[in-house]
Amino acid sequence: MNMNINQRQLIDCISAAIHGNKINASSNKNINWTKIIEQAYKHNVQALLYFSLDKIGEFNEKLFEDIKKNTIITALQQMKHVQQLEKVFRKFKDNNVALAGLKGIAVRGLYERPEFRTMSDCDLLVQKYNLERGKQLLLKLGYIYSGCEKNHLSFKHEKFLPIDLHWTLEDKRGKGSADFDKEVWKNVIEIPIGKEKGLSLSWEDTLVHLLMHMAGHTVNNGFGIRQLCDVALVIEKNFHSINWTSFYKKIKSIEIEKFTIAVFITCKELFKIEVPYEITKHGEFTSKYLDMFINYMYSCGAQGRFDLVNVYSNQLAYNPGNNGASENNESKRSIIKRIVKILFPGIQEIKNKFPYTKKIIVLIPLAWCLYIGGYIIKFKSFIISIPISKRRYKLFKYLEL
């Protein structure tokens, strides 16, 4: 794998943390701990980094104390957030509304120190017919409705982290199935939510959903080390209880089998875990694309949406429907098409971005000028993104995304 010494050290630390181990990383003075800690924050794994370290050398004492302080504050905030979620689950249970935790709230219990698996929000799932009731229960708990996305309602709170209330497990690519949405409710399990008991998807379905979610993020803003940690722990802790034949049928039905193989092999290489042959036998993942995949993950992190070069690169690279074309010529044509599509969006997209044009149609040309102006202002980032997008197009195509 083509990783530099700092990237390798960060991975070694995170691998130790998710397995409940510590390392003494004070001996190698060639390691740049400032860069490692910057990367940890970028990927939102700084608490796991701290947990893995006994020390990082006397010459880095201040860095160690800074990350220790941040970790303690973050852990207290996470525990406060979980205490609030106890009330949410209790409220839904008392009102006979089935509520299942997704992603972070579902997997945090697999970590040696659950409070070090940080969450920036909480994803919850209700059956579609209970969506309005769920909304009203959250409003009664002091949450403020802040909008509707294509697969969830968003809520904010003055004191606690936001909640996204899902009614479907469809990902950002629009992939998923109504059958899967119904089937997961037949297999829900109980998990601890603080001192309460709450529902979650089965570990098999949790893993499917984590991978769906990662696939959607891969073609949008990317994903980071934390998401890989979640997948690695679900595999490792539930290796013998997951029905891998059933699991493969599910990922195949939602068209993420090649992506899943890539993620599994990456977890094996980075975290030294065993992965099921029942899955990896269905495809290969060459060292060339493994390096591309890991480099892509590192460049995105948990905050990929805030990096304009990253956002533009993915906007240009993601072109569903071109998986069968020749690689070099098609990637160039595809990126040119994407540039044209970005600069000249459909009228409906302009209306969605500038709602006032729905009532005053004559303002559409002005809205388009404002839209283009946004790209001109960020022109440098846009230009830098073009060569990067070509590499990402090849990766997305290889992953069959």
The tens digit of pLDDT for each residue in 256-281 reads 999 999 999 999 999 999 999 999 99
**Does pLDDT of 58 surpass 70?**
no
| pLDDT for the residue numbered 319 | 60
User: Domain boundaries in the chain?
Assistant: 5-304, 307-398
Q: Which of 278, 281, 210, 200 is nearest to 246 (CA)?
A: 278
Asked if 231 and 211 touch (Cβ cutoff 8 Å), the reply is yes
| pLDDT for position 27 | 61
The per-residue pLDDT for range 275-310, each reduced to its tens digit, is 999 999 988 888 888 998 898 888 877 655 556 566
pLDDT-above-90 percentage for the chain: 47
pLDDT tens figures, 152-164: 999 999 999 999 9
pLDDT of residue 173: 61
* Higher-pLDDT residue of 157, 342: 157
- The helix-helix angle for 33-42 and 5-18 (nearest 10°) equals 60
Residue 386 has pLDDT above 80, yes or no: no
For 384, counting Cβ atoms within 10 Å of its Cβ (0-12 exposed, 13-18 middle, 19+ buried), the class is middle
125 phi, psi to nearest 5 deg: -125, 130
pLDDT at 338: 61
Neighbours of 8 (CB within 10 A): 14
| Average pLDDT value for the chain | 84
pLDDT-based confidence at 352, cuts 50/70/90?
confident
pLDDT classification of 314: cutoffs 50, 70, 90: low
**pLDDT for residue 368 is more than 60:** yes
**Highest-scoring range by mean pLDDT, 31-35, 45-49, 218-222, 301-305:** 45-49
- Percent of the chain with pLDDT strictly greater than 70: 80
In angstroms, the CA 63 to CA 380 distance is 33
Between CA 4 and CA 7 the distance in angstroms is 5
| Residue written as token pair 């599994």 | 264
- Look at 231 and 364; give whichever has higher pLDDT: 231
Fold of 5-304: Beta Polymerase; domain 2 (3.30.460)
Q: Which among 303, 316, 333 has a CA at the least distance from the CA of 382? A: 316
Mean pLDDT of 47-71: 79
User: Is the pTM higher than 0.95?
Assistant: no
pLDDT for residue 299: 82
196-200 vs 100-102, strand pairing mode: parallel
Return all residues near 100 (Cβ < 8 A) that are at least 6 apart.
Answer: 106, 124, 125, 126, 184, 185, 188, 198, 199, 200, 201
pLDDT of 322 reads 46
Residue 272 one-letter amino acid: K
Residue 178 or residue 5, greater confidence: 5
pLDDT of residue 315: 64
User: Would you state the pLDDT for residue 217?
Assistant: 84
Q: Is the pLDDT of residue 378 over 50?
A: yes
pLDDT at 385: 67
pLDDT of residue 3: 84
What is the spatial distance between Cα 133 and Cα 320, in angstroms, rounded to a whole number?
Answer: 36
